[in-house]
Structure 1
């Protein structure tokens, strides 16, 4: 029974990591691909052109999706603590 709880906690941890990090990774992938195509078309190989748009996109994603990510992390933490108490870890 305890191994089932540990397995479920691991599954929840992976799902939470996907919910928190997934949107950021997808946006950075799309922006990076767009910048790479732009650089290939124009033959401009400027390092700042590759870095600054990704930084701006990440800032926008964090501003928009930050509360959702914090809520997901909070819910995961509450669930883990509830499972610890249910198992009898805190007396």
Structure 2
């Protein structure tokens, strides 16, 4: 993943690829799918990626997507606050 595209957009692209794999009748384990998304976070998400990797419980794909959307909104808000003139 890269920093200049939204995480949501990149995850959707990843899911599109996963759907193509599923259509080919190759079974993709949900934990593998979630792990693939987490492991490909862009460099600016390093701390958040580390936090997700150290969680004790497994996340479902739906839970991961909710977490990512919330975190993305927080990062956008924080970055916009930092960029506003004093």
Q: TM-score, normalised by structure 2?
A: 0.43
- Structure (1 or 2) with the greater helix fraction: 1
Task: With a CA cutoff of 8 Å and minimum separation of 6, indicate the structure with the bigger relative contact order.
Answer: 1
Q: TM-score, normalised by structure 1?
A: 0.42
